[in-house]
Amino acid sequence: GENVEQHPSTLSVQEGDSAVIKCTYSDSASNYFPWYKQELGKGPQLIIDIRSNVGEKKDQRIAVTLNKTAKHFSLHITETQPEDSAVYFCAASRGGGGNKLTFGTGTQLKVEL
């Protein structure tokens, strides 16, 4: 089955700096890669996703890049703000029946003033 590894497990940045979180996946058939943000005690919220026919996608301060050859994808947050502090999860799936997402273990991002 699919295996998703996520690094780092914790990340601390100064407000205004950029943050990068990286994930690798094992299943070359995976074609859908979402990123979720989870605040304490709440459900994960989708912040951006990318499909395997695209190499990069951007939404304001957030961007995701995908390298299918190397089987890794990354989340980039620019101009970080205190409200960006949360746990971020990457995930991968083949799509298809059940769209069974396999999640990384999460990155605790802390944006310091």
Q: Which of 19, 24, 35, 36 binds other proteins (CB under 8 A)?
A: 36
> What is d(CA 3, CA 53) in angstroms, rounded to the nearest whole number?
21
> What is d(CA 55, CA 73) in angstroms, rounded to the nearest whole number?
9
Site string for other proteins, 56-75 (x = CB under 8 A): --------------------
Q: Which of 25, 88, 92, 94 binds other proteins (CB under 8 A)?
A: 94
- Cβ 83 to other proteins, closest distance in Å? 18
Q: Rounded to whole angstroms, what are the CA distances from 39 to 43, 68, 73, 83, 84? A: 7, 29, 22, 10, 9
Residue type, 98: G
Residues forming the site for other proteins (CB under 8 A): 1, 4, 6, 9, 31-32, 34, 36, 41-46, 49, 51, 89, 93-101, 103-106
